[in-house]
Structure 1
Amino acid sequence: MAPIPNPPEEPRDNPDAYVGLEAPSAERRAREHGWSTVRKLPPGAIITMEYRFGRLNFEVEDGRVKRAWKG
């Protein structure tokens, strides 16, 4: 039987720390902290709910991060 793969650890970063930042600065910071994918979304966007390891989602309104979450 093949071993169960262990994915690399996600960045130890609090998504709430991005709320209120300007979107370009938040994206730059997220990449510096090790997030492999950063997704910027408008408020109310319809998105798939599958969890993606290493992805940080931003809800951006008026150029600022209104909400941030993993996956």
Structure 2
Amino acid sequence: MAPIPTPPAEPQDNPNTYVGLGAPEAERLARERGWSTVRSLPPGAIITMEYREGRLNFEVKDGTVARAWKG
């Protein structure tokens, strides 16, 4: 039987620290802190709800991060 793959490590990072930052700065900082995937979305975007280790989501309004969450 094949081994079960190990999901990527998730940084020990608080998503709330990104709220209020400009989107480009927040994305750069998140990648520097080790997030493998950073997703910026407009308010009210329809998205899938599956949880993905190592992914950080930003809701961006007027170029600024209004909300941030893992998965």
TM-score (norm 2): 0.91
The answer to which of 28-37 and 2-11 deviates more is 2-11
CA shift for structure 1 position 4: 4.8
State the 4+ residue runs in structure 1 displaced beyond 2 angstroms: 1-9
Distance 1:9 1:36 in 2: 9
RMSD value, Cα:
1.2
User: Once the two structures are aligned, what percentage of the paired residues are identical?
Assistant: 80
Structure 1 spans left out of the alignment, 5+ residues: none
Structure 2 spans left out of the alignment, 5+ residues: none
1:22 and 2:28 matched: no
CA shift for structure 1 position 3: 5.5
TM-score (norm 1): 0.91
1:67 counterpart SS class: strand
